[in-house]
């Protein structure tokens, strides 16, 4: 029997989804509560605005007894669910077929079975941990962590002019400009900056 049971309200969308999603009330994450997980991604309920904008990527480590999986995720959607409650949908990207099987096992049973072994008779994992590694927004702006609001604004103005795709011909100018905008959006908002600093401090 799977550790994480499929959510009834999500089963309606099974025909549209490539991977079955499992409710994951036992998963911890510093971004918030992981509501459900599948071989293709996960959904996180956050208190406050998520520090990762739609279309942006991060690295996530899913740890369990006996090992862990490190995978890249991309924020594919974000919605507000209450006054300060938000949800963010993250898709696993660049995963191999073998990794997809491992993620499916983790979503269903809370662990990844060894090669050639079945899940039957294995001790079920009661808790896994999801650790998201966000971009270093201070480094992106060339600042230190105790910088002032004025320094953040000044760095943003300078870098946005230098890296704007209209004036910068480098192939990655658009991506750099987008990261600069992301960093400024998080660090210029006192509440989001405080939340980001707390997450990064662990």
Q: What is the pLDDT of residues 70-102, one digit of tens each?
A: 999 999 998 988 888 889 999 999 999 999 998
The reported pLDDT for the residue numbered 146 is 93
- Quick check: helix, strand or coil at residue 39? coil
Q: Of 78, 113, 96, 106, nearest to 20 (Cα)?
A: 106
pLDDT band at 124 (very low <50, low <70, confident <90, very high): very low
Of 7-16, 76-85, 160-169, the one with minimum mean pLDDT is: 7-16
Q: What is the pTM of this model?
A: 0.68
Distance, in Å, from the CA atom of 75 to the CA atom of 88, rounded to the nearest integer, reads 7
Q: Of 58, 183, 194, 21, nearest to 133 (Cα)?
A: 58
Structural domains in the chain, CATH included, are 8-133 (2.40.10.220), 137-201 (1.10.287.110)
Please, which contacts does 70-75 make with residues 24 or more away whose CB atoms are closer than 8 Å? 71/95, 71/99, 71/103, 73/41, 73/42, 73/132, 75/50
| pLDDT, tens digit (0-9, with 9 covering 90-100), for 28-37 | 677 788 888 8
| pLDDT, the chain, mean | 80
| pLDDT, tens digit (0-9, with 9 covering 90-100), for 45-54 | 887 777 788 8
pLDDT at residue 9 above 70? no
Assigned token pair, 41: 């991604």
């Amino acid at each position: 029997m799977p550790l994480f049971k499929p959510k009834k309200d999500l089963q309606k969308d099974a025909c549209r989804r490539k991977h079955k999603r499992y409710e994951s009330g036992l998963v911890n994450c510093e971004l918030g509560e992981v509501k459900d997980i599948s071989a293709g991604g996960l959904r996180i309920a956050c208190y406050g605005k998520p520090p990762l904008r739609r279309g942006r990527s991060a690295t996530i480590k899913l740890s369990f007894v006996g090992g862990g999986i490190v995978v890249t995720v991309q924020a594919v959607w974000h919605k507000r669910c209450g006054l300060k409650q938000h949800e963010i949908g993250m898709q696993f990207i660049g995963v191999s077929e073998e990794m997809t099987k491992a993620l499916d096992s983790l979503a269903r049973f809370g662990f990844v079975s060894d090669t050639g072994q079945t899940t039957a008779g294995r001790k079920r994992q009661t808790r896994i941990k999801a650790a998201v590694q966000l971009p270093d927004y201070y480094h992106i702006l060339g600042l230190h962590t105790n910088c002032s609001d004025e320094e953040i604004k000044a760095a943003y103005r300078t870098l946005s002019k230098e890296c704007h795709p209209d004036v910068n011909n480098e192939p990655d100018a658009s991506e750099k400009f987008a990261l600069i905008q992301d960093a400024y959006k998080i660090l210029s908002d006192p509440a989001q900056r405080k939340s980001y600093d707390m997450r990064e401090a662990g």
